[in-house]
Amino acid sequence: MLKLYGYDTINTLKILMLLFETGSDFEFIPINIRTGEQHSPDFRAVNPAGKVPVIWNDGRHQTESNAILLSLAKKASWGLVADPSLQADITTWLFYQASAQGPYFGQIEYWARLAKTPNPAASAHYGAIASRSVEYLNDQLNTKKYLCGDVYTIADIALFPWLRIHKHLGLSLENAENLSRWHKAILARPATEEALTFFDGISS
């Protein structure tokens, strides 16, 4: 059976959303990042980088959330498209999420919610970048139901978790009608509801 090592993190939620979409059986192994369990020798043997999520699948461990999404989607033949240009779009969004959305939204969370010493300049800087990301995504969804057209894919799953907590990050979708529609559509998916219920119970 597939094993998922994770906790109540943005990147763990991505994997849970896909597992519930595909109806996959899995064993969840919580790694409490708040107590430093990710740095334990046992977990470092699983992932020397000391990060979650990690999956055990087909006899090997795999790391990096977007790479995990891609391999699981291929294995389940879920959300894939035949058109090579759309396949390229999915890959592009995965890279965008990992290199732009994730780091910048993560900086907002750190400076706004986690840092012991507030840094208003850093909060304003990354907040402005994230607001531009919201505008960019809204524009990209102007003529599309989902990021890659009419098909819900791992591109949408990859970008959703940070946008799920946009209010906590001081961001607004009020003037981003297309992105707000997309956000509500994903929230309404039964698999998303199941994943969020599971996710919300991880650290409770």
Burial class for 197, CB neighbours closer than 10 Å (0-12, 13-18, 19+)? exposed
Q: For 84-189, CATH number?
A: 1.20.1050.10
The pLDDT of 31-39, averaged and rounded, is 97
The pLDDT of 66-70, averaged and rounded, is 97
The pLDDT of 25-29, averaged and rounded, is 98
pLDDT classification of 84: cutoffs 50, 70, 90? confident
Query: How far apart are the C-alpha atoms of 41 and 50, rounded to whole Å?
Result: 9
pLDDT classification of 20: cutoffs 50, 70, 90? very high
Residue pLDDT, tens place only, 107-117: 999 988 789 89
The pLDDT of 38-53, averaged and rounded, is 97
pLDDT at residue 175 tops 90: yes
CB 191 within 8 A of CB 17: yes
Domain ranges of the chain: 2-78+192-200, 84-189
Q: What is the mean pLDDT of the chain?
A: 96
Fold of 2-78+192-200: Glutaredoxin (3.40.30)
Residue pLDDT, tens place only, 47-60: 999 999 999 998 99
**Structure confidence at residue 100 (pLDDT):** 97
**Structure confidence at residue 61 (pLDDT):** 97
Give the chain's largest Cα–Cα span.
Answer: 50
pLDDT at residue 82 tops 80: no
Cβ neighbour number for residue 90 with a 10 Å cutoff: 23
pTM confidence score: 0.96
Residue pLDDT, tens place only, 140-171: 999 999 999 999 999 999 999 999 999 999 99
